[in-house]
Amino acid sequence: MPSSPLLQISSVSKTFGGVVALDTTSLELAEGSFTSLVGPSGCGKSTLFNIISGLLPPDGGSVSLEGRDVTGTSGHVGYMLQKDLLVPWRTVMGNITLAASLTRRVTAEDRAQAQAQAERYGLGDFLHHYPRTLSGGMRQRVALMRTLATNQSLLLLDEPFGALDAQTRLDMQQWLLEIWADLGKTVVFVTHDVDEALFLSDRVLVMSPRPGRVVADLTVDVARPRTLATLTDPSFIELKRRVLGLLHRENA
């Protein structure tokens, strides 16, 4: 029998001051999957993230995680924004263990886990550095390590690489895929970059202009591991054509 979805969103919607930000939306995500949301600005991507995370209550519908109703509650996802929001007076180690310090005392186990992951994923030499000494890409690595340190099964990544230059962004995408393959987390990723969405994901959800709703659910049937050659794979190019057609309201 098929396993139950890790995340189940059932008929959620949100209106602000009479403006429908998110139309009735339902979807299911399998455990260990990587799904991207693409769509025009203001289509409800961030609103949907805030509903999943519990920062916003939906006007209707429900959110279930691992079979448990989490509608309107927080603390059950790892959430990373485009801005790294690193605490400037804390070292890399201090930023990675920030969540633990805010909810309880940081333990030796917390520090050992942070150090092990930092060393595995290229931050081992920077644990005692402060954010001001780090490049944009390194700061985003720290922010992702901090998100992973919450030990949540579901990660919401809201345009985390949007402010990076093209070369650094591609490096970060490959780095993220390495982590995802190692740890088996379920990832939902928001981006405006169609190449990025297709390069990273198993599945791409295309959203309409406001009122936002999912207008296409596309499987990215491109072999893993993804490499630079993926970007010129005929299947990749055809999927990109379809997504761009949907975003720009052309026949796809």
pLDDT, residue 143, reads 94
pLDDT of residue 117: 86
Whether the ω angle into residue 40 lies within 30 degrees of 0, i.e. cis, is: no
Q: What pTM was computed for the model? A: 0.92
Rounded CA-CA distance 56/86 in Å is 23
What string of H, E and C letters represents the secondary structure of 132-147? HHCCHHHHHHHHHHHH
DSSP codes, 81-119: -SS----TTS-HHHHHTHHHHHHSPPPHHHHHHHHHHHH
Q: Which ranges constitute the DSSP H helices of 19-86? A: 45-53
Q: What is the pLDDT of residue 77?
A: 94
pLDDT of residue 51: 95
Find, among 89, 65, 100, the residue nearest to 186 by Cα.
65
Instruction: Determine the pLDDT at residue 246.
Output: 93
Q: What is the pLDDT along the chain (252 residues), one digit of tens a residue?
A: 457 899 999 999 999 988 999 999 999 999 999 999 999 888 889 999 999 999 999 999 999 999 999 999 998 999 998 888 999 999 999 998 887 776 767 788 888 988 888 888 888 899 999 999 999 999 999 999 999 888 899 999 999 998 889 999 999 999 999 999 999 999 999 999 999 999 999 999 999 988 889 999 999 999 999 999 999 999 999 999 999 999 987 544
Distance CA(65)–CA(153), nearest Å, equals: 9
**pLDDT for the residue 252:** 45
The pLDDT assigned to 250 comes to: 56
Domains of the chain: 7-77+152-247 (3.40.50.300), 84-132+142-148 (no CATH)
**How many other C-beta atoms are found inside a 10 Å radius of the C-beta of residue 69?**
12
Determine the pLDDT at residue 175.
Answer: 93
| Amino acid 251: pLDDT | 46
What Å distances lie between residue 62 and 6, 40, 115, 125, 235, CA to CA? 14, 25, 37, 44, 35
